Amino acid sequence: MPNRPLTQRQRQGAASRDEILDAAESLMARQGYDGASISAICSECGLPASSIYWHFGSKEGVLAAVMERGAARFFATIDAVSLSPTLRGREALRAALRAASQAIAEHPEFLRLLVLLLLSGHAEDTVRRVRAEGRERLHRLIASAYPAPGNVPDGPLADALADAALAMFDGAFLAVQSNPRIRYEALLTQMADALASLAEAPIAAARGPRRRRAMRSAGRRGMS
């Protein structure tokens, strides 16, 4: 059944909702959760407090919506690249993390706010949920980049590296915040190469004995 076009009132409601989220995201990223009062958000977006309460119910509701929108937007950018069936190995990691650098450049407030909330202890459930989704995306990326024999995504390898990947990502964000000369794309490309090296080392180690066994078997067949 085709979707019905939005009415003018619905379009206005969606627009005002986005205006509130844009204002809240910017304000919270600059001043933290405590510094972004409802009145401050109203001043930032130019809408009355009644609009904020109608859309979100509370300041906590605003924060949850800001994080959910930011996460969906950020992960959609990465998924568009990382789920490509034609990319594997190092090139898959590089492509996905280049996409991540572009997503950060377009919406830097989202990750800045996420880190502020993580350090402050606010909105623990929301932060935990977003972090868990981020780890799952990195897990999926590594698994699809390095499939096991039979072209099956390598879950055990991804399990071993997903937490390290998330820690690298956190470090990259903080490094850029502390030094404006550092660029995300260069840093995340290095992160992709580091993850690739970590992933490829155990794969090469596992292939070595199999290759030696295959060579011995071929030699015995040649002598018979």
What is the number of alpha carbons within 13 Å of residue 207 lying toward its C-beta? Answer: 8
Nearest-angstrom CA–CA distance, 65 and 113? 13
Quick one: pLDDT at residue 10? 64
Quick one: pLDDT at residue 104? 84
Query: In the beta sheet, which residues pair with residue 152?
Result: 148
Cβ atoms < 10 Å from Cβ of 63: 22
Task: Per-residue pLDDT tens, the chain, 224 aa: give them.
Answer: 456 666 766 677 778 999 999 999 999 988 888 889 999 999 999 999 999 999 999 998 999 899 888 888 888 877 776 666 677 889 989 998 888 888 888 888 888 888 888 888 777 888 888 899 889 988 988 888 888 877 777 888 889 899 999 999 888 888 888 888 888 889 999 999 999 999 998 888 876 555 545 545 544 555 55
Distances (CA, A) of 208 to 107, 148, 149, 214, 220: 44, 15, 15, 10, 19
The answer to whether 157 and 143 are in contact (CB under 8 A) is yes
Q: Is 86 helix (H, G, I), strand (E, B) or coil?
A: coil
Quick one: pLDDT at residue 82? 61
Nearest-angstrom CA–CA distance, 188 and 172? 7
Q: At what angle do helices 59-82 and 89-106 cross, to 10 degrees?
A: 150
Distances (CA, A) of 188 to 14, 46, 106, 183, 185: 34, 37, 15, 9, 5
Q: Does the CA dihedral 150-152-153-156 come out positive or negative?
A: negative
